[in-house]
Chain A
């Protein structure tokens, strides 16, 4: 079982790692690189807790093989804030109390960033369908959706009362 050499860009920095061919990107991030912000809730692409942005596309890192990351640019939850400055999505999640246990939160924040990168002005329905792949068992989604809509408004430069 020979390990494969993979070179990628993770959160803006070049990263090199060795991984086994059957290892998922999620396993690589968590067990090889030590970025444990991406969570495993199902390992079958159903819960979204492992969401990362890969070459501009939102993916479940449990459904991507580590070797497929070759040459890719990957953003994980650890790369969303700029240094100690939180991304508006993160800030709005805090202000709206859009998390309880916080386990699904990394995936939700990454998925929300991907949404707003693609559609800066989503309707509530669009936000709900986009985030339908991110399970949250604590919040009932109400405050999550409010945080998403508020973050979208802020990113558009609108102030919301």
Chain B
């Protein structure tokens, strides 16, 4: 069914989330909060070198230390062949995943895991790590993306021959692949242009910086059954990856999803679980592992840093006639940066006749990148939306008008192939124009920036169950870990269909043995895809309840209608019966066919792309180079806000992460390729005093492919901030800041350079 034009009672309201009380009282169980009798503590030995050959690993002294029960190295894991997988978010090569979890032959970045121990206490485990004797042959390393691409750069993988070029290169390099997207004829387009702008932009890798470090508890029983308790964006992903890396059947692994303390894409792959299982197998004991914050920075995440060249040509009236972009994305130590989305998203907001985009996926001696909120899109959009601002200035045109003039609409064919359908970009731009922030005069010394952003959003496989319990209360179960309030949105959709209050539905996240396969919580897919499964399951339950009432009343199924949580005879012809509520129907369940439940699994299609526009006012301290965000408004097409507070929260949180990416977050490496700021003191994420209130404006252009019109909302809001802030700084100071982060030293240097 489709409820887009129905009057809704629950969807669109703001009830308290089902898991709320547990989370404000400290009762919610996150990954590190579980322990088991007799458990061991697992710890990881990490490489101090950015690039080195492992000559030998001697673990004998560590193994001899009293209290040490197991030591594992790559020798304890099956060697995995190169094989592409699509279980997490985006492509993943199983061989690379295995080598990232446990180095074999070479370490490829500082922090690369190469051995692990399990001991009776944390202190003994730490001591044991110090007793593992590794002989390294240190190799030259490379950190920067342009340097990694240069001839003569240290090569990380001697079997990496650039894919996507013909003929295949004869020599290995750090360029994993080249991708190209073309529409029309960009070179011919530039000939027609009245105005051409060009720019070179760089962004730094930034970490997802979830506050909960990765953690897990794993048991390998003597009958080969494995139980894992961990926090991730997908416990089915944990099961699949652990099974693959250890050669265990999936049916022998049960993964229990702990509460997850933030992920943002960074928990769509495994680091600890296969190691903990291997240690448990070797020791015969349950093993607990948890990363330190330093481990998180040195050994997990981040997203790519990039170097980009962009060129845009337009007519005097602002019509863009040609656009070109070259993107070089750091993948970290293994191939697989989000270069594809990077190439697609930059120009996706615009209806352009001629586009030419080339992207490079480049490895270097840094941690392997992981997904981070709209992977690739914020990076490419920083470049494109900064240059759009330059174009507006050069044309003497308002930046909003320039975007409206070139805006993608339904039917616009993108440069990467698909045609936009059911999108709300122009409505978002209209909302910018109508917003008081856009119309308000700027205060002296301040600058205002506008930038927009796009993300595909995805659907995919999800499973949901709806149970009418014996007393008529409702439990909804799904396979989607709840990172940001999805229990609430799922429960609300179920409640709406059943005609009961939101608080009558208890939503839970079921483990891998208790519900059908469900893809990760990523790609802004849960409210869309899992919501679709849950809605359909609730509809099946309603059909079932109606048939039970028909049986009890001995009238045809068609003569029963369901409203406000009760079965009614449909009109006087159906007979005069008192309505039957959920409790009455549940009471009679045994006599009318048994338990009342439904499980629905879907492969949801038609996620509905999202667009956002951010307006930002800044002031800049010329003496210190400090940029202060004075006012911030984030406008986004959300399709339909199921729980508006949590939709606003996604937008505000994404904007704040973007503010950090723009102004303060970066990895600082020393000459040896070691990270020098692996902690929250020196890797500066925004704190409460760094940001103002962030006004989230919800534009609702319904997505017809979802029963309630929802489209994904979690990723779009991190796309526009960096350019919005850069454009605001340009407005305030006249300085174009092409390199992130726009931190005080950089801004100060830009003032100095400008004289």
Contacts and interface: CB of A to CB of B under 8 A. Distances in A.
Interface of A: 20, 22, 30-31, 35-44, 46-47, 49, 76-78, 80-81, 86, 90, 93-97, 99-106, 109, 125, 127-129, 131-146
A94 B685 contact: no
A109 B22 CA distance: 13
B16 A103 contact: no
A139 B26 contact: no
A128 B629 CA distance: 14
Given A94-B24, A139-B652, A132 B261 contact: no
Contact of B26 (A97, A106, A135): A106
Contact of B209 (A37, A106, A125, A137): A137
B645 A96 contact: yes
Contacts of A49: 211
Interface residues of B, number: 62
Nearest to B260: A101
A132 B209 contact: no
Nearest to B22: A102
A97 B485 contact: yes
Contacts of A139: 649, 652-653, 656
Interface stretch (B28-36, B328-336, B508-516, B554-562): B28-36
A37 B646 contact: no
Nearest to A100: B484
A36 B653 contact: no
Interface in B124-150: none
A86 B211 contact: no
A132 B689 CA distance: 6
Contacts of B220: none
Interface string B561-585: 0000000000000000000000000
Contacts of B292: 43
B27 A37 contact: yes
Contacts of A78: 25-27
Nearest to B659: A140
A41 B51 CA distance: 29
Interface in B183-223: 208-213
Given A102-B28, A129-B689, A134-B688, A41 B212 contact: yes
Given A39-B211, A47-B211, A132 B25 contact: no
B745 to A, nearest CB: 21
Contacts of A43: 292-293
B595 interface: no
A41 B290 CA distance: 11
B646 A135 contact: no
Nearest to B14: A97
A142 B652 contact: yes
Contacts of B21: 86, 94
A127 B688 contact: yes
B165 interface: no
A144 B687 CA distance: 12
A78 B456 CA distance: 41
Interface in B211-251: 211-213
B620 to A, nearest CB: 20
Contact of A140 (B208, B264, B694): B694
Contacts of B19: 102
Given A40-B32, A97-B645, A140-B656, A76 B485 contact: no
